[in-house]
Homo-oligomer: A and B are copies of this chain.
């Protein structure tokens, strides 16, 4: 019987800037008796990565520029927050009452360029940014697990993003190491021998979404989830593979 399990790794401390998240994860796995195996996927929430790496801004230290002030009026937002969002972004997609959607410098199109107040806990005006290089963050965790357990697992950094056409946010992959984020079935036969012509599955996003179901944003906060039993393809990773070239984006 094909079966997969998702385990929320218990015992992670409150992550603070300067802590080594790879070490904390290795120790939490050891304490929980969770021995990673080949083919496992460790999904870690962006928020704790950013906190450990100190990728944070205290809004009290920010002076908004002219563009941020103008956009803050349009979006009805704190101009200092808008200033931080603009610094993280390459373009503004949409500004509307309470909502600012931009393209993050890493290519993700999401609300507030991923700049977020929630689950930071380091002061009333401290916000978190997305990690500087989420693929590298995933790679560092992968290396630490490999060193500690001798097993080359896959690692995904996930975040929750809103999306066009559909309500609600879903977990998506913003950093990946050790797996192919996309699984192409093009050219393979289906169950009846029909050759699949267009099927490419965003496996890394589906793993990210599955982990989000266990991570929790409120009291239950368990930012790291070990997924076992899903057949993944090993590969170098790289979440940019999941970004659609705008010129080929027919779904917009």
Contacts and interface: CB of A to CB of B under 8 A. Distances in A.
Contact of A182 (B4, B163, B168): B168
B244 A164 contact: yes
B1 A32 contact: yes
Contact-size category for A: 35 or more
Copies in the complex: 2
Interface stretch (A57-65, A83-91, A118-126, A143-151): A118-126
A26 to B, nearest CB: 17
A229 B8 CA distance: 11
A207 to B, nearest CB: 7
Contact of A244 (B117, B166, B212): B166
Which residue, A121, A200, A206, has most C-beta atoms of chain B within 10 A? A206
Contacts of A213: 4, 203, 206-207, 210, 230
A168 B201 contact: yes
A6 B3 contact: yes
B8 A209 contact: no
B118 A194 contact: yes
A37 interface: no
Most buried by B among A192, A202, A214: A202
Interface string A199-240: 111110111011011100111111000000110000000000
Task: List the 10 closest A-B pairs by CB distance, nearest first.
Answer: A168-B202, A121-B192, A210-B210, A2-B8, A209-B209, A164-B251, A206-B209, A4-B6, A94-B250, A191-B221
8 contacts: A2-B220, A4-B214, A94-B251, A163-B165, A165-B249, A168-B201, A201-B212, A207-B213
